Amino acid sequence: MKLFDFEKLDVYQVALEFVATSDQIATNLPRGRSYLKDQLRRASNSIAANIAEGVGEYSPAEKTRFYRMARRSAVECASHLLVIERLKLGDRDGLEIGRNQLLRIVAMLTSLAKTCSPGDPRTSVR
């Protein structure tokens, strides 16, 4: 089976794993927390979508921009997981799995963005 280029990236595969993890976390949230469910699901899907879009770009600056957007969505997801944890709304083990996946995703996207356009101040990752 032929693969899209983005499917070959480890970061994309981990992002897909996180989509499944976050969906399970969202599914298990109690009634009345639809705002958290929606935010978490949208942000997790955004990680994978922005990685795919970045791979599809030719311009190094545009690639970097999409990888940085994916990174921001991953950090947003981390915040949602911390809120869920603080409110004692989720399974601790599931939240830890998600957090570890996000730490890997952020590290890989940081590295990927830095290698796309080294030395360009408009695309540096901070």
Predicted pLDDT at 100:
98
8-65 pLDDT, tens digit per residue, is: 999 999 999 999 999 999 999 999 999 999 999 999 999 999 999 999 999 999 999 9
Buried b (16+ CB within 10 A) or exposed e, 39-73: bbbebbbbbbbbbbbbbeeeeeebbbbbbbbbbbb
For the chain, what percent of residues have pLDDT higher than 70? 92
Write down the domain spans for the chain: 5-116
Fold adopted by 5-116? de novo design (two linked rop proteins) (1.20.1440)
Confidence of residue 124 (pLDDT cuts 50, 70, 90): very low
